[in-house]
């Protein structure tokens, strides 16, 4: 069982056979105003991270991915001056909800159920399927890549 707290400082370690670690996934993706942080291995092929944005407004999105099939849940948990909505920061509430969901049996902690649980804590909740492997999956579960395009730190 994984216990999540705060901004999920419990980073998983990649096995010796993997060249990439979760710590390396923590990076700036858009010079000075966007990036990814707080990558965590949730166990059983599932990872999460937060994407931040800070240019003429701020936003934080939460991502949870089942690495094998590439199913992803994304949700806006904080925002200020990005849309016409009033500013909000429900990051802590969303992380608590995710932790509660992840403590249950994985058969019940499905991404659609997590999305439903996040309904009062997040905005713009979406479920999709990835065709490209995200960094956290490459670091923690590269063996589950399947036919997804492999992650590369040098990919634009």
Domain limits of the chain? 22-144
- Cβ(8)–Cβ(48) under 8 Å? yes
Residue 1 has pLDDT above 70, yes or no: no
Task: Over range 26-39, report the average pLDDT.
Answer: 86
Distance CA 60, CA 27 (A): 14
Q: What is the pLDDT of residues 57-84, one digit of tens each?
A: 999 999 999 999 999 999 999 999 999 9
pTM over 0.75: yes
% of the chain residues with pLDDT over 70: 87
- Cβ(135)–Cβ(20) under 8 Å? yes
- Cβ(3)–Cβ(9) under 8 Å? no
Q: What is the pLDDT of residues 12-22, one digit of tens each?
A: 333 334 469 99
Task: Over range 97-111, report the average pLDDT.
Answer: 89
């Amino acid at each position: 069982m994984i216990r999540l707290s705060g901004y999920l400082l419990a980073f998983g370690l990649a096995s010796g056979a993997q060249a990439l670690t979760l710590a390396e996934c923590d990076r700036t993706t858009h010079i000075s105003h966007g990036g990814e942080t707080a990558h965590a291995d949730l166990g059983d092929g599932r990872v999460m991270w937060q994407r931040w944005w800070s240019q003429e407004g701020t936003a934080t999105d939460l991502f949870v991915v089942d690495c094998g099939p590439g199913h992803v849940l994304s949700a806006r948990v904080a925002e200020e001056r990005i849309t016409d909505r009033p500013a909000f920061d429900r990051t802590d509430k969303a992380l608590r909800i995710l932790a509660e969901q992840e403590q249950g049996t994985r058969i019940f902690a499905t991404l659609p159920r997590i999305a439903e649980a996040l309904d009062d804590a997040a905005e713009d909740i979406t479920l999709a399927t990835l065709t490209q492997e995200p960094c956290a999956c490459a670091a923690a579960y590269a063996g589950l890549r399947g036919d997804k395009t492999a992650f590369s730190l040098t990919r634009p």
